[in-house]
Amino acid sequence: MKKIAAFAGSTSTTSINKQLATYAASKLNEASFDVLDLNDFEVPIYSEDTEKNNEYPQGATAFNSELDKYDGFIVSLAEHNGSYAAAFKNLFDWVSRKNREVFRNKQVLLMATSPGGRGGASVLATAELTFPHMGAAGITKFSLPKFYDVFSEGKINDQELDQQLSSAVNEFEKLV
């Protein structure tokens, strides 16, 4: 059985993107999944000087090891000021220093949600351009606008949006 890692590009304990990633993973039919929490992979702020003067951070080593275990990835990105959340970007900067192919040449279901009507469109556009350079063999996308209006009790309550997510998950799963 294929195994998928689902995680949010956020360290918030109330992350709406983690809620979305978890819900999307629950829709997998032919694969098992684990939900990862970026808080479990603490790293210092990346800089060349820090890298030269210190050992590679344990959090980055652990995250790299985790990524090796999976056949595909469900990633829901938080959008901070139109881009990646700092914690996500920082961890991925560290991880890429040991393995440039962060996503291991595997499929990624790339998602974002936000309270607003654009559903993280800016961070999705950035990730769609950069993830292939980070080893994403293919990307299936989904955006969920107006999170607090359409998501409650652990699921999407808008039937059309829920069907769009189901279609994206099915497409992703076929490609894994």
Nearest to 33, CA basis, from 66, 70, 75, 77: 70
Nearest to 161, CA basis, from 29, 35, 36, 23: 23
Where does the pLDDT of residue 38 fall: very low under 50, low under 70, confident under 90, or very high at 90 and above? very high
55, pLDDT greater than 90: no
Q: What is the pLDDT of residue 54?
A: 81
Query: What percent of the chain stands above pLDDT 90?
Result: 96
pLDDT tens, 12-30?
Answer: 999 999 999 999 999 999 9
Domains identified in the chain and CATH numbers:
2-175 (3.40.50.360)
pLDDT tens, 164-175?
Answer: 999 999 999 999
Q: What is the pLDDT of residue 106?
A: 98
pLDDT tens, 43-54?
Answer: 999 999 988 888
Average pLDDT, the chain: 97
pLDDT tens, 91-120?
Answer: 999 999 999 999 999 999 999 999 999 999
3-class SS string, 101-141: CCCCCEEEEEEEECCCCCCCHHHHHHHHHHHHHHCEEEEEE
pLDDT tens, 141-156?
Answer: 999 999 999 999 999 9
31, pLDDT greater than 90: yes
Q: What is the pLDDT of residue 147?
A: 98
Q: What is the pLDDT of residue 158?
A: 98
